[in-house]
Amino acid sequence: MKALVAGMALSWALLPCPTSAQVIQPRLATDGKALILLEEIREPPQQRQPMITLEFSPELGIRHVRVAGKGIVPPAAVSLQCGAETWPIARSEVRLMPEQTHAFFAVEKAVAEAVLARPSCRLIVVGVQIPLPRDLLQAVWGAPPPPGAAPPPAPR
């Protein structure tokens, strides 16, 4: 199911800012390690948008937001919002690659735990609010199973 989010104004280098975002049905990446909130759209130019994912790096023990796309100017910060509480998250890293720029926003453990505990939250990127699906968020940012634990049953 596709929907439009009004007011999208992500910064893109050399292009006018889009006015809406194409939202996909949020889904887990094939490996289950990322929650894909938006897919990158490159064409047509007036509908360009970055890919936005929520991820967990087990090697570093860090939960983060990734904003990636060809020719983007990454925002300096994003926010997580649950009800009246908002947590701004500064950009922690930028990786310039030939086909895409990747911006990472490291989420402190206490903030991730607060978001996981709330019934309804959203990610705010350049003023655009993207709802976070609780079940999929839990699958990516939830506590990892203890070593040797059986994997969770596959969804039906």
Structural domains of the chain, count: 1
**Domain encompassing residue 12:** 3-140
pLDDT of residue 13: 35
Domain assignment present for 155: no
pLDDT in tens, 82-122: 999 999 999 999 999 988 999 999 999 999 999 999 999 99
Domain assignment present for 98: yes
Domain assignment present for 121: yes
Domain assignment present for 149: no
Task: Tell which residue, 93, 92, 90, 132, has the closest CA to residue 114.
Answer: 132
pLDDT of residue 71: 86
Domain assignment present for 120: yes
Domain assignment present for 56: yes
Domain assignment present for 150: no
Domain assignment present for 151: no
